[in-house]
Amino acid sequence: MSSAPPFHLAFPVRDVESTRAFYAGVLGCPVGREAERWIDFDFFGHQLSAHMADEDLLATNEVDGDAVPVRHFGVVLSMERWHALAERLRTAGVEFLIEPKVRFVGEVGEQATLFVRDPSGNALEFKAFADMRRLFQAK
């Protein structure tokens, strides 16, 4: 798998301080630039830009038996980092939207996954593959 450039994602939040506490404090993401109504984070090598807004989209789709939020983002970690993050979230008392699990067992897309919401209700998915070459493999 080739190294891809970092992505940039801007997303809505209710307030900067609870966002800082979650992304920097709980997830351990370094803070970048910030202003009164926005804050940037180094999200596992990618740039997240949290902007204050009044938006709430809660639609879901069924995926392998779970109601997965349509609007979500996240990162694919190594299996070791995924387990460490799951434990970090448990220790911090973060409520899981979808508990840590392995989905698509025995299929090409087999992956570890977990979902949480940030303080503004944004859904985040963290996943890992035992074989990273299967990340984009269809069948």
Asked if residue 54 has pLDDT above 80, the reply is no
> Is the confidence at residue 59, as pLDDT, over 90?
no
Q: Which one-letter amino acid corresponds to residue 56?
A: D
Rounded-to-integer distance, Cα 51 and Cα 15, Å: 8
Nearest to 116 by CA among 86, 78, 76: 86
Q: What is the pLDDT of residue 6?
A: 86
pLDDT bucket at 1, cuts 50 / 70 / 90: very low
Per the CB < 8 A criterion, the answer to whether 21 and 15 are in contact is: no
CATH of the domain spanning 8-134? 3.10.180.10
Secondary structure of residue 128 in the 3-state scheme: strand
pTM over 0.95: no
Each residue's pLDDT tens digit, 69-106? 888 999 999 999 999 999 999 999 999 999 999 998 98
Radius of gyration of the chain (CA): 15
pLDDT (average), residues 41-51: 94
Say yes or no to pLDDT of 57 above 80: no
Q: Which residues, other chains included, contact 138 with Cβ-Cβ below 8 Å and sequence gap of 6+? A: 108
Per-residue pLDDT of 16-28, as tens digits, reads 999 999 999 999 9
Q: What is the pLDDT of residue 56?
A: 60
Q: What backbone torsions phi and psi does residue 18 show, to the nearest 5 degrees?
A: -70, -30
Residue 7 has pLDDT above 60, yes or no: yes
pLDDT (average), residues 105-122? 92
Q: What is the mean pLDDT of residues 62-75?
A: 88
